[in-house]
Amino acid sequence: MTKFINFCKRFYLAILLIFIYLPIFVLMIFSFNSGKSMVKWNGFTLSWYQKLFTNPLILNSIWVTVSIAVISSIVATVVGTLAAIGINDFKKLSKSLVINITQIPMVNADIVTGISLLLFFIFLKIPRGYGTMLISHIMFNIPYVIFSVMPRLRGMDKNLYEAALDMGATPAYAIRKVIIPQLMPGIVSGFIMAFTMSFDDFVISFFASQGIVSNLSIYIYSMAKVGINPEINALSTIMFIIVVTLLVIINIRSIRQQNVRQARIKK
């Protein structure tokens, strides 16, 4: 009976993974197809990747995507780290309230957040474009940084900051030289997570810019409406590899941190 249950679990997991990843692998394979068909294999080629990187519209979309992802991640990491430090010093009731409020952008539907930001920008008469997209990405990246840093704060000795002050350090110096190094693994994980979320976002980007500025997700959406183009396959393959690479880095860092904690506990 136990063997049958284990077989069912493995079979279910295998079917689930195939259902999720098989279309992606098919897309990646046909990004090297010399023909435009997604059914018939006509031969191996890299021409679609060559055309991809010689298309000025795609290059502009890549620049917008990468620049917004980097800038928004840096700003969100700084703001989110300082916010996490401040939240950690709140009293229990206030901390619980602020944490629950901070979770709302993470669990809220993207389309609701996108429409809310669009109405906000219209109300303030802010022209939609690169700036509004950047502001929106910073906004929804901050909670991910906060919740990446908070576990490190909970596991840190609360007396470190006060000890630094007793030894003559200013509050700013104590945070910069004592607290931040202790939080660095969580800060790096938060930055990578923020970059990944920003790089892959479509809904919030679309509403925040109203299509005036296109990142990769918006560009792929606009291309897909007029028919499947092999350049989309090549572009989607590159995006998938980048996102998976970042997630692997996050998981490796988490495993290493857990191993370090377990080694310290054993000592």
Neighbouring residues of 220: CB distance < 8 A, sequence distance ≥ 6:
232, 235, 236
For residue 259, what pLDDT is reported? 77
For the domain covering 56-266, report its CATH number: 1.10.3720.10
CA dist 213 and 208 (Å) reads 9
Task: Name the phi and psi angles at 253, rounded to 5.
Answer: -65, -40
Helices (H), 155-229: 159-166, 171-174, 180-199, 203-209, 216-224
pLDDT tens for the chain, 267 residues long, are: 677 777 787 888 888 888 888 888 888 888 888 877 777 788 888 888 888 888 888 888 889 998 999 999 999 999 999 898 888 888 888 888 888 888 888 888 888 888 888 899 999 888 888 999 999 999 989 999 998 888 888 877 777 777 777 787 777 778 888 888 888 888 888 898 898 889 888 889 988 888 788 888 888 888 777 666 788 888 888 878 887 887 788 778 777 777 776 776 666
Asked whether 61 and 219 are in contact (CB, 8 A), the reply is yes
In angstroms, the Cα distances linking 48 to 32, 33, 134, 226 are 7, 8, 30, 18
For residue 230, what pLDDT is reported? 80
For residue 1, what pLDDT is reported? 67
For residue 137, what pLDDT is reported? 93
CA dist 169 and 177 (Å) reads 9
Residue 44 β-bridge partners: 33
